[in-house]
Amino acid sequence: MDKAAPALRWWRLLAAVLVAIASGSAWAGAQQYEVLSDAVHARMQQSVSDAEPTLSSFRSDADAESWLRAMSPRLASRMPDEDARREFLLATHYEAKRAGLDPQLVLGVIQVESNFRKYAISRAGARGFMQVMPFWVDLIGTPGQNLFHLRTSLRYGCTILRHYLDIEKGNLSRALARYNGSLGKGNGYAQKVIRTWTTYWSLRPSSPTAREERVGARERAAPRHSDRREGPMQFMGSPN
């Protein structure tokens, strides 16, 4: 028997483990390339190219601290550094609200997609916290934009999810499935995100089904992008 065989098997096993770690969440999928209308293309391009924010997305410093106190302990085990955790949460809140999304929903998406791994890469090639496919940079972005960069990943991810919600007229399950590239595949991804959002990140936990129905009704009643004036995307009011 070849004495090198056990060592070779060990190295192969180690390599498989490292690939699995680098790949991030097993639920990470891949948004599908699509042809965008000129209006949608221009809107999404503007959204991802805007300068980074200089103002808080909270109504007051007290509101910001209250939200951070509620969210930070839930993220501590995955992001131990307090300063990095605070920066991440403030950036997530800003980008989510800017895109008209509930920040806690976005945290649920990130947990399921990458489990808060900054350098996660899926088998399909999706990258970063929000597992964005690189073709989006060519489609609506600027050459050289780094999808592993915190603000870039959040900006793209929130813009894309907002786009899918508009396409699906507020149907959250279908929009999430589109985001994951699993629409019509019945893999339970959307339900997992909604369950993570409502049971782990919500300020007031409630039934995932009831929460989804409220969000869907609110989205269907909201004006679509074509009805909006130029400016930041409207905030999809949090059910919290």
Cα gap 155→123, rounded to integer Å: 22
pLDDT for the residue numbered 46: 75
Q: Mean pLDDT, to the nearest integer, of 141-150?
A: 92
State how many domains the chain has. 1
8 Å CB contact between 101 and 158: yes
pLDDT for the residue numbered 40: 72
- Specify the range with the lowest mean pLDDT, choosing from 15-24, 67-76, 94-103: 15-24
Q: Is residue 149 part of a domain?
A: yes
Cα gap 225→130, rounded to integer Å: 23
Q: What is the CATH number of the domain that holds 50?
A: 1.10.530.10
Catalytic residue selected from 34, 87, 95, 113:
113
Cα gap 170→189, rounded to integer Å: 17
Q: Is residue 185 part of a domain?
A: yes
Residue numbers of the domain that contains 75: 30-227
31: Cβ contacts below 8 Å, ≥ 6 apart: 126, 132, 133, 136, 160, 178, 179, 180, 181
Torsion angle in degrees (nearest 10) through CA of 140, 144, 145, 147: 110
Q: Sign of the CA dihedral 131, 136, 140, 143?
A: positive
232: Cβ contacts below 8 Å, ≥ 6 apart: 98
Contacts 24+ apart (CB under 8 A), 161-165: 161/99, 161/101, 161/106, 161/109, 162/99, 162/100, 162/101, 162/233, 163/40, 163/44, 165/100, 165/101, 165/219, 165/236
Q: Mean pLDDT, to the nearest integer, of 21-43?
A: 61
Q: Which residue has the higher pLDDT, 152 or 219?
A: 152
Q: Is residue 36 part of a domain?
A: yes
Nearest CA among 154, 103, 108 for reference residue 130 = 154
Q: Is residue 97 part of a domain?
A: yes
Q: Is residue 144 part of a domain?
A: yes
For the question of whether the overall pTM of this predicted structure is more than 0.75, the answer is no
How confident is the model over 167-213, as pLDDT tens digits?
999 999 999 999 998 888 878 999 999 999 999 999 875 544 444 44
Q: Is residue 240 part of a domain?
A: no
pLDDT for the residue numbered 71: 97
The question of whether 113 is a catalytic residue gets the answer yes
Q: What is the DSSP letter of 28?
A: -
Q: Report whether pLDDT(91) > 80.
A: yes
Q: Is residue 1 part of a domain?
A: no
Chain length of the chain? 240
How confident is the model over 57-83, as pLDDT tens digits?
999 999 999 999 999 999 999 999 999
Q: Is residue 12 part of a domain?
A: no
